[in-house]
Chains A and B, each alone.
Chain A
């Protein structure tokens, strides 16, 4: 069985057909509609204890076998067309619970819906119902075909709002994750594989899966080549809530396509329960959102539940605000199997030293929390605990953690331009003054008359790849009066550090504060994503512009003075291949 799978993989590589997964390492992977060409076929799924189970599943007709089937994404109101080709040894079909007015053309009649005969085809058409998360699954001999894996997810989005779960701005999200629960009795699958009698009354589940994988395979990226038939990971990868930088919660779409109910328990942070079975949860009398938070929620068989997730630390614990307990020497503690997701430091974004030979899977001080079925017999792979229906929540520091396969680069300005007042000539030391802390400074002089004095200038960084992400800005400088007054305290000007948005052709403010004669170091300024809008294209390809503006209004012309914006360091960092 394993040999056969390996040969299939080689064939797939030769003809250039890969799993349906996209490049995103984590998060929900959509197959976009509204027209889908699916094929029902058989293939293997592997479990972490080395077993392989025969599965039946839907795949894109042009794609590789995959379990679960592709996540079908459409907009509400779309006319959805699903062509199903049947390569299984018996008739099969699709039903769409939660959708109404589904019509079928072709095929043969069956008990619950029209079916495609072995080797045959059928086409289902419907108008996508209200936004939400839905199941699609076999309507033919479900006791056998659903257990064998013929079930997956249909996502209906509100038109025009791909980043809202429902037609309701309170459901806006940043990051979308799929948690599709299922369970497997290997004896039943073996019976199908070997042509033995199939008896659902002997059901005895041994494997429990999320998105078709059992823990710890669930943590692997989408589309990793060594899980070629199981393209969907389920790592929930987010950053903490921040009122400006990460205001939106993540969306977690939970579906149970198994035969048993599963009580799902998220560690770390409770989930906001916003919808069940494609319907927002509303207060009966007022129609208000009736969102409640849960640290455990039973997902009924066949049901879907949508949750929003924001990770918050209202105590702001950090190295400078530590918890009032003393940590013992790590040598006196257990790190299970000398392998841990702990960073060695209790605080987000910091890393500590662990005793050898402990290996940490944590590169930047992220937090990891297990999410798992709390029917703990399902938190196992057959007889091996810490497996099965489980995944991890990973919370990165707000300033980012880098991305696998990417390196962090630091950029220094290529040029400096004064835009107000003109002309450019009054910039002294240019980009060189901004290259490093200390040493020469880049001095830009304000206008010299009137009660309101202002200076505006920007540095241009070049050569930033279009794929650059996790852009961060740092600026150190002060503002001083000119000439013989330059050493005096003077109250300063209102300084804004900003970044140019090439999409809107406007400056985006990152930091505003009053800065006078004392140097202020401003680091880790994070422009709101996506970063692509800050990286120039076409004639400005690879350009990033970071600006400084400073304004001071004096009380009278007699007391007005010219000042100089004096930059010491300007830097960007970004991650790129």
Chain B
């Protein structure tokens, strides 16, 4: 059903030219200096993630998205289902787009191995997108949903740089909690290292971080064919990019976390401008702090903080309060390295450690594990020596 578009991309020779090869983890620099057509594929299916404190083997059943390698975009749906069923990741792959590009996301519903009785459809809702056509809003009641073993092409032409999020909107009270959540962001066309079309938002490194909660009751109920009462919501895990501390500081694609590939480790050099692309798809508000380092909020909900009359509305804070469904673009300047300050050493040498954490200490635990730091916290490592440039947002160096 998509032969026309795919044939066009192939024949025009732009399919390969504008699309970086997929790594399967983290995000990709997509797009080019002039408006381009970008295609990618996502699979909606089930799978498992790992959380400390869970009974062995520490698995939690999830629904989620998995990104298709670019060379599988033309595969028949049956082959995609065979190869990608029950490979869901959480968080969903980071989507990195450029302002003005024509973006097609092919969503394939590969079904649920663990719950073959549950013939749920899936959708993609680009949360916050100024949607010119309701059909691509991904809300099944007002547009279209994708049943099992079917594929649908979502089309977007983003005009507004900034940080957004995306999630499945099919029975979303359940599917969002089950893990079908991720970050999507849009770079200014001519300034990919600015958060917005404004030089005050220039950065050296960027870190998309999705805040979330996991109420394992729903996951266990879904796995065991039981219903949940959503107004009983009572989460027991608090995640950054689908991981809890100390998972959050493990590198991208760490072998112990095969389905939680996205790291939240913030690596930088003294003096660098670091952009945090923050979004919250939990059901609770979160108060995030980076003690010792000022946070400058330059954008909210994919809108530059500048008034229509040109007033600079950005602000500096020590506590960032982020409600469900809200996004913030925050820039901080990495402080100088000091050997006298607390820190550690990894493959890049010595670093000072700063904590990016939730102020609500009840969210700094992992389930029932006592007396150990966990949950919604990660580290900012300011290295003494030079470190490699980032290849893409969300991928550790």
Q: What 1/0 flags go to B6-50 for Cβ under 8 Å of A?
A: 000000000000000000000000000000010000000000000
B230 A385 Cβ-Cβ under 8 A: yes
Q: In the assembly, what is the distance between CA of A341 and CA of B176, in Å?
A: 22
Interface size on B, residues (CB 8 A): 71
- With a CB–CB cut-off of 8 A, which chain A residues contact B285? 261, 263, 298
What is the CB-to-nearest-CB distance from A216 to chain B, in angstroms, rounded to a whole number?
Answer: 9
B141 A285 Cβ-Cβ under 8 A: no
A326 B311 Cβ-Cβ under 8 A: no
Q: In the assembly, what is the distance between CA of A314 and CA of B1, in Å?
A: 28
From the candidates B133, B134, B308, name the one contacting A288 in the complex (CB within 8 A): B308
From the candidates A296, A313, A324, name the one contacting B132 in the complex (CB within 8 A): A313
Q: Main SS of chain A's interface residues?
A: loop
What is the CB-to-nearest-CB distance from B304 to chain A, in angstroms, rounded to a whole number?
Answer: 8
B121 A334 Cβ-Cβ under 8 A: yes
A283 B313 Cβ-Cβ under 8 A: yes
What is the CB-to-nearest-CB distance from B3 to chain A, in angstroms, rounded to a whole number?
Answer: 8
A325 B134 Cβ-Cβ under 8 A: no
Q: What 1/0 flags go to A309-336 for Cβ under 8 Å of B?
A: 0001111010000011110111011111
Q: In the assembly, what is the distance between CA of A380 and CA of B173, in Å?
A: 8
Q: In the assembly, what is the distance between CA of A336 and CA of B146, in Å?
A: 10
A385 B311 Cβ-Cβ under 8 A: no
Q: What 1/0 flags go to B122-163 for Cβ under 8 Å of A?
A: 000101101111111101111111110011111101010000
From the candidates A269, A296, A328, A377, name the one contacting B283 in the complex (CB within 8 A): A377
B308 A298 Cβ-Cβ under 8 A: no
- Whether a CB of chain B sits under 8 angstroms from the CB of A533 is no
- Whether a CB of chain A sits under 8 angstroms from the CB of B302 is yes
Interface residues of A in 258-310 (CB under 8 A from B): 261, 263, 265, 267-270, 283, 285-286, 288-298
- Whether a CB of chain A sits under 8 angstroms from the CB of B327 is yes
A298 B144 Cβ-Cβ under 8 A: no
From the candidates B134, B135, B172, name the one contacting A379 in the complex (CB within 8 A): B172
- With a CB–CB cut-off of 8 A, which chain A residues contact B283? 374-378
Given contacts A265-B127, A342-B143, A380-B231, contact A323 B133 (CB under 8 A): yes
Q: What 1/0 flags go to A371-408 for Cβ under 8 Å of B?
A: 00111111110110110000010000000000000000
Given contacts A288-B309, A296-B326, A376-B230, contact A333 B152 (CB under 8 A): yes
- With a CB–CB cut-off of 8 A, which chain B residues contact A325? 2, 5, 104, 153-155
- With a CB–CB cut-off of 8 A, which chain A residues contact B171? 385-386
Q: Which residue of B lies closest to A383 (CB)?
A: B229
What is the CB-to-nearest-CB distance from A184 to chain B, in angstroms, rounded to a whole number?
Answer: 11
- With a CB–CB cut-off of 8 A, which chain A residues contact B127? 265, 295-296
- Whether a CB of chain B sits under 8 angstroms from the CB of A142 is no
- With a CB–CB cut-off of 8 A, which chain B residues contact A294? 300-301, 303, 326
- Whether a CB of chain A sits under 8 angstroms from the CB of B69 is no
From the candidates A263, A323, A341, A378, name the one contacting B141 in the complex (CB within 8 A): A341
- With a CB–CB cut-off of 8 A, which chain B residues contact A267? 125, 131, 137, 139
Interface residues of A in 191-220 (CB under 8 A from B): 204-206
**Other A-B pairs, 4, CB within 8 Å; known A204-B231, A385-B171:** A267-B137, A297-B301, A333-B145, A334-B170
